[in-house]
Amino acid sequence: MKLLLASSSRYRRQLLEQLRIPFEHASPDIDETPLTDETPRAYVERLAIEKARALKSGYPQHWIIGSDQTCVIKEEIVGKSGNRDNAIKQLQACSGTAVTFYTGLALISPEGDVFSLVDPFTVRFRSLSTEEIEHYVDLERPFDCAGSFKVEGLGIQLFEALEGRDYNSLIGLPLIGLNDLMQQAGVSPLLQASN
């Protein structure tokens, strides 16, 4: 099985490595601008599919995985903060609230069949002081993460509760969902695993 991850994210690569299936990765070049009146769920599913399709012609024999994530804070789609000031603002907006993350996932077969899903995950944030937020941002520098936190790091200390079927969604690649899509496509990921 030739597998390609359509992503430049080191976080997604680290997650996919857990399945112990050899894979390649490449960065897709697509326009990620939301469409007018596009819901967060539709937005991430469309981008996941577009990312996978963008690499199809260059990798015609591969199974291609595309993934995209967005964070919704008070009904507004929020992406990666990019810098310290924006990260602080994002976490201030999250403080004391429930924030939903949507991760779109797509799998395209060598024949061009498309399998996709959206995995929602809700994070309930504690009420955070400005001092806690600034200290957290300075320690973890989560500027390349939607919502400005790293659940696999100190970010876990920001939360009251996590609600969803796969916390890997928060990192950007829901492995349970990927297993589901591969099973739908007639491939057992477990049987593809190697030493």
Provide the CATH number for the domain around residue 69: 3.90.950.10
Which region, left, alpha or beta, applies to residue 37 given φ > 0 means left and ψ of -120 to 50 means alpha?
left
| Rg of the chain, C-alpha, whole Å | 17
* C-beta of residue 6 within 8 angstroms of C-beta of residue 180: no
Structure tokens at 171: 């990192």
Instruction: Print pLDDT tens along the chain (195 aa).
Output: 899 999 999 989 999 999 999 999 999 999 989 899 999 999 999 999 999 999 999 999 999 999 999 988 888 888 889 999 999 999 999 999 999 999 999 999 999 999 999 999 999 999 999 999 999 999 999 998 888 998 888 999 999 999 999 989 988 899 999 999 999 999 999 999 997
* 68 part of the active site: yes
Locate 4 and state its tokens.
């390609």
Task: Choose the catalytic residue: 68, 119, 166, 180.
Answer: 68
Query: What per-residue confidence (pLDDT) applies to 106?
Result: 98
pLDDT of 147? 86
Phi, psi of 5 (to 5 degrees): -100, 115
Q: Residue 105 pairs with which residues in a beta bridge?
A: 67, 117
Say how far apart CA 148 and CA 132 lie, in whole Å: 13
Global pTM reads 0.89
Write down the pLDDT at residue 68: 93
| pLDDT for residue 75 | 81
What is the model's pLDDT at position 135? Answer: 97
In 3-state terms, what secondary structure has residue 65? strand
In eight-state DSSP terms, residue 96 is T
Domain span at residue 70? Answer: 3-192
Number of domains observed in the structure of the chain? 1
